[in-house]
Every structure is written in structure tokens, then in C-alpha cells.
Structure 1
Amino acid sequence: MNVNPHISLDVQSAASPPRAVKVRARNVDVFYGDKQALFDVSLDVPERSVTALIGPSGCGKSTFLRCINRMNDTIVGARVEGTIELDGEDVNDRGLDPVLLRARVGMVFQKPNPFPKSIYENVAYGPRIHGLATSKSELDGIVETSLKRAGLWKEVSDRLHQSGSGLSGGQQQRLVIARAIAVKPEVILMDEPSSALDPIASARIEELMDELREEYTIVIVTHSMAQAARVSQKTAFFHLGKLIEAGPTDEIFTNPRDSRTQDYITGRFG
């Protein structure tokens, strides 16, 4: 990957007051059968901000992301050790229902994956099954508000009952984001959310992240150094399953402490 080391930065100043920790990971190891994918990862994710996870393919970024809402539970042979806390509560506690956890921690994947339903039903599905609306009018309000927050309402308000799969790729990804925020999550995980999109749609997703971080905690996996620099306030660099370093995005990109971080950012490997 050839990356310009002089990426322009427009991020929260390092002098800004620190935010409270929303997600706290300590000594996290992940195994897929006999293969260890993550080694002793400890990371704090601050609330109402964007934290970017960067690093070469296969370095453990997505594996760590999936730990936060226990998506690794769905993989046969996966085992997670260590602790991950959401507001001080262990997400791996056996008494914690993973369905309820995933309502609090939404996820947006690399490829837009709307349900084979109408635009309206895509957004209404979560609030309906979680009992968040007591009437049709209340559900209508949730759908409208979610689509507005995802920056999609003006484009689809006159075709809510048409299939979500008929939208463009960028619109589908914003529909998926609307679906995620409809259940009022606290955290939104995004795994390469714009890598399958054209530059214009990608820019819209980045603008949306900047708007959403005022209300939500966002963790994004991205291969794009420029995207990480533009959208995040904190950056964590992973390499070979280990967290090499993490800190304010401007510091990671302009004055990394570890030579491996410097080599990756400047395109010497990755």
C-alpha cells in the first residue's frame, strides 16, 4: 500500500479534554481452534468519538471488533479470553444475553446487507422485535428519525415500501446504518463500511460518521490511512494479532512511538 505520509489531519486536538471510556478491553486473546488470532490486546475506546483500527490484512482488526458485540460466538471453535467491558459490564458474562448486547452494540459490515424487505421494514424490524414502539405512529416516527439521522430520508421518503435492495450501494449502506441506530444503540461498529463504495458514497459515509459521533461511540476498521485520519479522534494500530500502539489520531500519524507504525503509515509495508 502506497500511503502519503503527509496525510492532512482534521481531528480532535490532543489538548481536548479526555472523554469517558465506553469500551475497555484488557488482556484479550482470541483463538480460532488451535490458531491464536489476537495476543494480549488492551485498549480503551472513548465515548462519543470515532476510534479507528488500522493495520495490514489479517492483523486482527476485525477479530477485535467482533469481540465487542460477541460476533465471534457465531464462529465454531472461537474462544475469547481476557475482559471486554461496556460501561463497566463484562460483555462475556454468561448472564448477559448476546441479543440484547447487539442491540446496544450495532454493526455495519463491509458489504451493504439490507434485509430482503421494504425500506420501511428494514428500519422497523429491530424496534418491532425489541418492543421499542407501542403503536404504528410511534414506529413510523422511529423509522423517519433513523432515516434522517442516516442522511437518507429525503432520498427515500416517497418510496418507503419499495425494496431496500433497489437502492444504490451507498444508499444501501446508509439504510443499514439507519437500521442499526433504530434500536438506539450506544456503540456502532463499522467493518470497512465504505470499501465497497465509490468515492462519492464513501465521502457521504464519512460525513455521516462525523455527525453520528456526537451521539454514538463508533469503532471503525479501515485499510485507508486517509480515511482514518479524516474521521477518527483515536487510532489503534494492529500488526500480527498484536496491538502495537494507540493514541490520538494526530499523534499516531505525525509522531508514532513505534517504528512499525511509522513503516505502515508511510507505506513501507502493508
Structure 2
Amino acid sequence: MIDTIIPTTTEAAEPVTADGTPKMSARDVSVFYGPKQALQSVSVDIHDDKVTAFIGPSGCGKSTFLRCLNRMNDTIPAARVTGDISLDGQDIYASKMDVVQLRARVGMVFQKPNPFPKSIFENVAYGPRIHGLADGKNELEAIVEKSLKRAGLWDEVKDRLQESGTALSGGQQQRLCIARAIAVDPEVILMDEPCSALDPIATAKIEELIHELRGRYAIAIVTHNMQQAARVSQRTAFFHLGEMVEYGRTKDIFTNPREQRTQDYITGRYG
């Protein structure tokens, strides 16, 4: 049973209201799958210089909400999203929004590593190539190297770039997927339980990577692991039964929650 989780964060003790203009802002977002409502009136801000964690028990709606942030729910015919979500003040659900470009700006890393059945190099080069981000082979090679370095993978794979990405270990595959996401120079990175299929050593490397990427990208992460949320995030939103119960500074959520349901969850009474 978990009594108290104290985040290991170095952020200054500033109020949540002093965060400044958010990179992404969600207001009263609800999601329906046919007649069933999966998410009810969620409002959250995601900032450039902070990692935002979404926690809560299975089926609470946290991954459903994450998928709203780059319109991944569009791929589900029965899904309907209401409310407002903006990126730099622009409505991402506006009819004029280019969804392909949106997903380049708001990248996603999934629960299970999903490298393409291509070489390590081609996994990372794919996005920049189709989006026309590289002028020639040399620039493409530079993007691949920079992305692998930012993902903490370059030193491990620099001599085997033509080998299949699927031949890497699970933790390496997940870092390759992160390299693939950042190769198109996104502004936001969404991570849906990126460590749930990894061993503790690989998990530690991903968490270290999240710390390194913070500030370079706005990051939102869904996790079942409360200790992980405490370690990597500066803001936390707690979801339960399709509602966002509480959102605030990670330290406050884990040590002085305002809501009884939050207190019950972090102390292990349910979940």
C-alpha cells in the first residue's frame, strides 16, 4: 500500500495560476463512443516547460483524453468529441485544420513499441522524408543523427543503422519510436504509458529521457505508475470514471490533494 509519494522535482514553489500561456489548452472536453459517454467536461492546460501526467485507474478516460490532443479518436468511427482544444490558440478541431500536419506538430508514443519493419535509419527518416523536411541525403542523415542523439540511442545504434528496428530490445525500440516522433520537429509529445511493457532498467532510461526532453517539447504522459508520475512530472491530472477529478502541481496532488477521491487513490484505497 502506498502511503505518500513525494515527487523528486526541483521546480520552484509557484502557484498553478502563474504558469503563463499554455501550449495546449482543453476546455470542457467530452468524448462519446456512440451513445456511451467516456469522458465528461475535462479542462487541462499543457505547458512548454512542464511535463503533465495523467493518472487514474484503468478505464478512467486518461488515454481517451490523450488521444483527443492529436485527434487520434478521429480514427474511431463511433467517436465524437465536444468542447474546445487549442494548440497555440488555434482550434485543432476546426474544419480548416490539416490533421496530418497536426499529428506532425503533436507527436505520439504508444504503450507498446511499434517500430516500422524497416531499418533503424528508415524508421527515423520516414517522417522527415514524407513531410519534406530534408533537402538531400546529407540533411536527412543529420536529422536522423540528431533525433537518435536526443532519444539517447545514437551511441547504441550508430554502427548498425541499416539493421531492422524490430531487432532492437524493447527499451531501445521505445526510444527509437521517440526518435521517430521528434524527427519531424514536433511541438508537443504525447506518451501513452510508454514504460508499461519495459523492464526497470529500460524504464529508468525513458524517464531520464523525459527529463532531458522537457523544455524542448511540451510533454503529456499517461501512466498507471504513480511513482513514475511523481518522478517525471511537474503537473498531474487525476482521472476517475470519466471525470478529471483534480489537476494541479504534482507535489500538491501527491502530498496535499484537495479531493477525497484523489486522496483515496494515491493512498491505495482503490485503483
Q: Secondary structure at the match of 1:251?
A: helix
Query: C-alpha distance in 1, partners of 2:50/2:104?
Result: 19
Q: CA deviation at 1:19?
A: 4.4
Which residue of 1 is the match for residue 216 of structure 2?
215
Query: Which residue is equivalent to 2:174?
Result: 173
Q: Residue in 1 aligned with 2:9? A: 10
What letter is aligned with 2:8?
L
SS at match of 1:21: coil
1:233 aligns with 234
Instruction: Find the counterpart in structure 2 of residue 247 from structure 1.
Output: 248
Give the alignment's Cα RMSD to 1 decimal: 1.1
Choose 38-47 or 98-107, whichever is displaced more: 38-47
Residues 114, 176 of structure 1: 8 Å contact kept: yes
- Conservation of the 8 A alpha-carbon contact between 1:187 and 1:217: yes
1:158 is aligned to 2:153: no
- In structure 2, C-alpha distance between the alignment counterparts of 1:8 and 1:86, rounded to whole Å: 28
Within 2, Cα distance between the matches of 1:26 and 1:91?
Answer: 12
How far did 1:86 drift? 0.5
Give the Cα–Cα distance (whole angstroms) in 2 for the partners of residues 158 and 173 of structure 1.
Answer: 19
Per the TM alignment, residue 18 of structure 1 is displaced from its structure 2 partner at its CA by: 2.4
Shift of 1:5: 1.8
Q: With structure 1 as the length reference, what TM-score do the two structures score? A: 0.97
- Gapped regions of structure 1 (runs ≥ 5): none
User: What amino acid does structure 1 have at the position aligned with 2:11?
Assistant: Q
Q: Deviations over 1:214-269 (max 9, x none)?
A: 20000000001100000000000011101111001001111000000000001001
Aligned residue pairs total 269
Q: Which amino acid aligns with 1:103?
A: A
For 1:13 and 1:222, how far apart are their aligned partners in 2? Answer: 24
Structure 1 residue aligned with 2:42: 41
1:1-270 equivalent positions in 2, closer than 5 A? 2-15=1-14, 18-270=19-271
* 2:113/2:177 contact within 8 Å kept: yes
Please tell me the residue identity of whatever aligns with 1:69. N
Give 2:94's aligned amino acid. D
CA contact (8 A) 1:50 1:220 kept: yes
Q: Distance in 2 between matches of 1:49 and 1:142?
A: 25
Return the alpha-carbon distance in structure 2 between the equivalents of residues 263 and 199 of structure 1.
26
> How many angstroms does 1:11 deviate by?
4.6
Q: CA deviation at 1:76?
A: 1.6
Deviation at 1:132, TM superposition (A): 0.1
Contact 2:7 2:250 in 1 (8 A): no
Supply the distance in 2 between the matched residues of 1:111 and 1:139 (Cα, whole angstroms).
Answer: 27
Counterpart Cα distance in 2 of 1:175 and 1:24:
28
Please give the alpha-carbon distance, in whole angstroms, between the structure 1 residues aligned to 2:20 and 2:10: 14
Offset at 1:97? 1.1
